[in-house]
Structure 1
């Protein structure tokens, strides 16, 4: 029996052969890296020699819990990620609704291209462009009345720039969800005398919620782990990513950096479990 006929007669073996390479890559490169990260978080560094001490210890996590500065940074990072997500939802819903239900088919295609185009530009170019806009005496300052009148660099700038960067990741899932909503359902609701608010709550919102949760997985996770934007426009603002970078670089404390890095991982695992029942994962 030839190999081809054997695989044809055993579809499960064929499926296993097709999935073996990507599954192996997932286990080794992704899950393996997470396992090493978690294990190394329980190590420590010899303060005198700088060598790794591969002995199980909870000191790193104890420091994260007891030191106020680390709790403040973790809460600030979660707050920024939540604020960015809310802003993206507020902006994305009307834009996606216009694209899906109001714009003509030709305009719809142009709008989708316009939303996708910023994703092709370099991340650093976009962030540095915002740094120029928000600089003291820059365009934003002059627009608001002169030097010093703009927000400048800081926490507000971080939220603003991250909202701009990740907005397309919210618009596209919401647009895809609304596009699957038949126009006949909206027309039937209007024919039955339902007002706009009632139609939105009863018909549009059940479609929107899973799509919004799907988009929030991107906006929340990408904002939670970002550190480049904070470095460029954040001023003295510190977030989780900055602490990880600082402990990898100048402090040379890889175990403590790994312990800090487990915070966004744990937060996202909890978040994914919480939104799983909404059907958001099926919208990805």
Structure 2
């Protein structure tokens, strides 16, 4: 047991609705539940009034330095590129993720189990929409897939590409946020919880294992990033001037990439130092090599 939490996104939803200056349920979250938890449990299990909660005022839910945040500006919210996860962390990221289709066998299960599924084996069909938990999924998948893959009309290829997209994005978040625990006085990100573990019915969702408990590729990429010792590499593009375009992969007119920096880092979550030699190889894809 990590902690007891009073609510999920209640403070945040009130803030998003606007025009609400007080929340009567605060009495439950900030007085009733803390007293009950204190009376029935040991003091070793803390109580957190809500998630996300930033710790300053009751409506503060996005402070990256205090409490926890839900980071949905990739996929939802501001619909930023997942390559911006490195500048979108928080003290504790308790929700984030990108959805993907489940295993193709699971997709075929809902297509084949009903006559209505005949002729609807394409990404925007009605039965696919009925088995997709993410709102505005057609538009949002179009954005993230177009930015990172060649588009395809073949359903099985599209299903696979969404899984790779999810795996790459979520594993990158684990890479950079784990790196953000930089030692005393620099504990920028202390922990991460991906949304979500599994599904309660056959569906396209943020889950890392589907309804039949078939793991998606992201299940394995998260496991790899959570090993006690990891090594990662990332290429950062340097541009000739600041602009509002995506940082990594956009050139237009006067906005040009002029250089790049390669960052290589290791993380060690054991309690002992580890000496190692890292060999780094570079390959020119435009020259002959075998």
TMscore range, shorter length: under 0.3
Larger strand percent: 2
Q: Which has the higher contact order (CA 8 A, sep 6+)?
A: 1
Report the structure number with the largest CA radius of gyration. 1
Q: Which structure shows the higher helix fraction?
A: 1
- Return the TM-score normalized by structure 2: 0.24
Q: TM-score, normalised by structure 1?
A: 0.25
